[in-house]
Amino acid sequence: MARSIGFIAVMVALLGGFATPTRAQVTLSISCSSLGIELELCQEGANEWGKQTGNSVKLVATPPNAEERLALYQQLLAAGSADIDVFQIDVVWPGTLASHFLDLTPYIPPEDLKDHFETLTTNDTVEGKLVAVPFFVDAGLLFYRQDLLDKYGKKPPRDWSELTETAKAIIDGERAGNAQLQGYVWQGRAYEGLTCNSIEWVASFGGGTIVETDGKISINNARAAAALTLARSWIGTISPEGVLNYAEEDSRGVFQSGNAVFMRNWPYAWALANAPDSPVKGKVGIAVLPQGAGDGARHASALGGQHLAVSKYSAHPKEAADLVRYLTSAGEQKRRAMKGSFNPTRKSLYDDQELLQALPFLKDFEAVLENAVARPSTVTGAKYSRASSEYVRAVHNTLTGKGTAEENLAGLEKQLERISRGGKW
């Protein structure tokens, strides 16, 4: 008996060896972000790949804040460090980091690539090189407390003024019982998350995307100023002063503990708001973000998301690229969507019945994506993060009352003209 088990074990090992000729027993390291349960999902996926290939993967946790993560990556990559093989990168970073990444074209089957939304693969192609593969896609969404809206006979707001009125009416009615209740929480800290929130306000008023695809700096306009002035009016009324220091997890903390009527966040917050231990489980609705006002009014969601890239300093590029192939596969993207509501980047999964049942907003997500507003990272290339920081400074100053929207946008236009040498980027 013991003998035959030994024989089977040898056969399994041999067959396994044939099935995966690259079985090289390497140890890779991957950096994942840690928003919500991202880290846990990343670890599980990497472990499964390790099990299937006989390799192992070390996880390097990185800060949830996009800028801090970018600074860390830039430091490592500039030093040519081989410490991290696979990088989880933000959708807005390919232009900044491309020179440090491998061209993944030879490693990803063409039919796999075709399944991803084209906007995303185009975003990841820099000078003809595929520098990253889409991992999940984000778009800003409005989360609301269905139970509170029902209690006050309100509907999910179509525009920002409706959101403001509904939030006011509900907090006025509820504050006697819950003094903590806020109307609207979002991401107002001076970081990349504020770029996303405020590009949504600006675009929802028809005020453009800061820099247009032809490089033209468009942000100094009356619609953009009206959008920022509106957001300023929320501070201390429907949004707490503290929102000026909130990132994603801060707003989720307030909303999920039952202390906000509305929240702007990414899809990941859905799975957590409905987790068994969530105080608001089953009480949450989700909608497109409200429209602005005036001629240019429209719905606008910022396009976000994360992609996977392989460092060109990696000692194991083949295995690292295979890990990227696995983590971006349909099976893994489905698992991440079911467990963590991280939205797939593969079109085929938007027809998956099981997934459509589990995530009620998925069926409308393609429409949300069509309305999605991309930050100007492709046209500004390596200068994106400087441009975004200047923009954030102007928006944050407006929100804290340091100058009016008009003054801050005029100053911003000058800064962007300077950075881009007159819009040439």
Tell me which residues touch ligand GLC (CB under 6 A).
35, 66, 90-92, 138, 192-193, 196, 248, 266, 304-306
Taking the complex as a whole, the smallest distance from the CB of residue 192 to ligand GLC amounts, in Å, to 4
Taking the complex as a whole, the smallest distance from the CB of residue 377 to ligand GLC amounts, in Å, to 9
Minimum CB distance to ligand GLC smaller for 248 or for 322:
248
Summary count for the chain: helices (H), strands (E): 19, 12
Q: How far is CA 300 from the centre of its chain?
A: 15
Provide the edge-to-edge strand list for the sheet that holds 260-265.
182-185, 260-265, 141-145, 284-287
| Alpha-carbon span 260 to 330, nearest angstrom | 35
Minimum CB distance to ligand GLC smaller for 206 or for 267:
267
Taking the complex as a whole, the smallest distance from the CB of residue 300 to ligand GLC amounts, in Å, to 15
Taking the complex as a whole, the smallest distance from the CB of residue 301 to ligand GLC amounts, in Å, to 11
Which residues have a Cβ under 8 Å from the Cβ of 405 and sit 6 or more positions away?
A: 224, 225, 226, 228, 229, 232, 398
Q: Which of 243, 198, 222, 235 is nearest to 388 (CA)?
A: 198
Taking the complex as a whole, the smallest distance from the CB of residue 194 to ligand GLC amounts, in Å, to 8
Minimum CB distance to ligand GLC smaller for 92 or for 269:
92
| Alpha-carbon span 332 to 45, nearest angstrom | 7
Q: Which of 73, 19, 53, 45 is nearest to 318 (CA)?
A: 53
Q: How far is CA 235 from the centre of its chain?
A: 24
Taking the complex as a whole, the smallest distance from the CB of residue 340 to ligand GLC amounts, in Å, to 13
Taking the complex as a whole, the smallest distance from the CB of residue 10 to ligand GLC amounts, in Å, to 46
Residue with the closest Cβ to ligand GLC? 304
> What pairs with residue 211 in β-bridges?
217
Taking the complex as a whole, the smallest distance from the CB of residue 417 to ligand GLC amounts, in Å, to 24
Taking the complex as a whole, the smallest distance from the CB of residue 90 to ligand GLC amounts, in Å, to 5
* Three-class SS state of 285: strand
Taking the complex as a whole, the smallest distance from the CB of residue 202 to ligand GLC amounts, in Å, to 16
Answer whether 327's CB lies under 8 Å from 142's CB. no
Minimum CB distance to ligand GLC smaller for 90 or for 115:
90
Minimum CB distance to ligand GLC smaller for 266 or for 365:
266
| Alpha-carbon span 247 to 253, nearest angstrom | 10
**Burial of residue 74, with CB atoms counted within 10 A of its CB: 0-12 exposed, 13-18 middle, 19 or more buried:** middle
Q: Which of 269, 239, 276, 273 is nearest to 257 (CA)?
A: 273
Minimum CB distance to ligand GLC smaller for 325 or for 375:
375
Minimum CB distance to ligand GLC smaller for 137 or for 416:
137
- φ and ψ of 130, to 5 deg: -85, 100
Q: Which of 195, 222, 189 is nearest to 207 (CA)?
A: 222
- 274 CB neighbour count, 10 Å cutoff: 15
Minimum CB distance to ligand GLC smaller for 92 or for 130:
92
| Alpha-carbon span 231 to 54, nearest angstrom | 52
Which residues have a Cβ under 8 Å from the Cβ of 222 and sit 6 or more positions away?
A: 207
| Alpha-carbon span 121 to 118, nearest angstrom | 5
- 406 CB neighbour count, 10 Å cutoff: 17
Minimum CB distance to ligand GLC smaller for 34 or for 229:
34
In eight-state DSSP terms, residue 289 is P
Minimum CB distance to ligand GLC smaller for 200 or for 248:
248
* Three-class SS state of 212: coil
Minimum CB distance to ligand GLC smaller for 200 or for 319:
200
Taking the complex as a whole, the smallest distance from the CB of residue 272 to ligand GLC amounts, in Å, to 14
